[in-house]
Amino acid sequence: MPTPATIATAAPSGVTSTKDQIVLVVPEEPVNLGSFGTIGASLNAAVIRANLQDPLTWQSGDDLRIVPTSATIGWEQMDEDTWRFKLRQGVKFHNGEEWNADSAVYSLGYQGRPTSEGGSINYTGAYDAVKVDDYTVDITCKNPCPIFPSTSFFVDFEAPEWHKGASEGDASRQSIGFGPYKHVSWESGVSINQEAYEDYVTVGDHFEFQKAQIQNAK
């Protein structure tokens, strides 16, 4: 029986490489994107805000150790309720603001208040933060906190100058951190769009802290 001739099919127009874009579907719309308030469903936080933010510390998925992030290079316990964190130099927020002790204390001041509406205080408890030098911050807990670095995975940071001038609505509808993606737009009820942050500072060989391999996330 003769073999049918192979007929070439033209590629469809408008094809976009899967390496350039990814679309993720989440079960509900976030309450807000700002890291000083609740975001809603935990899955939303994992796939939306975690793209925009790097926290104070993290538990590595590679070996479960508590590791520094693009925010930090290390820490030490000063006494039963005080921890000293060394901040990573050369990091910038998505809008170009410098990451340093002053910008860290601004965000820590929000999240360490007993009346904080963010989720991180449920893990860390209340605390105060003070600048030691340009890249060193002391965090003093209201109560003894011998495992504080193991509880601060959800302590995030907003660009302070932007946040100071933002309206309450603007501050809730975007987040300007220094994570691997930066916020582009939020079309209510439809989609949130992000793009890879070119100046993201990578950390070691932990897969959580590498540059984004996909340019656009929706």
Predicted model pTM: 0.87
pLDDT for res 48: 80
- The pLDDT value recorded for residue 211 is 94
126 touches 68 (CB < 8 A): no
For residues 68 and 89, the answer to whether their CB atoms sit within 8 Å is: no
List strand residue ranges (DSSP E) for 23-121, in order: 58-59, 66-67, 72-79, 82-87
Q: Is 115 helix (H, G, I), strand (E, B) or coil?
A: coil
Residue 15 confidence (pLDDT): 42
Q: What is the pLDDT along the chain (218 residues), one digit of tens a residue?
A: 555 454 444 544 444 445 799 999 988 888 888 888 887 767 777 778 889 999 999 998 878 899 999 999 999 999 999 999 999 999 999 999 999 999 999 999 999 999 998 889 999 999 999 999 999 999 999 999 999 999 999 999 999 999 999 998 999 899 999 999 999 999 989 999 999 999 999 998 888 899 999 999 99
**Reduced to 3 states, what is the DSSP secondary structure of residue 165?**
helix
Listed in order, strand segments (DSSP E) in 92-179 are 127-133, 136-141
- Give the pLDDT confidence score for residue 88 in this predicted structure: 98
Q: How far apart are CA 1 and CA 22, in angstroms?
A: 45
**What is the reported pLDDT for 86?**
98
Domains in the chain, ordered, with CATH? Answer: 21-217 (3.40.190.10)
Q: Strand order in 216-217's β-sheet? A: 21-22, 216-217, 191-196, 181-187
The SS3 assignment for 163 reads helix
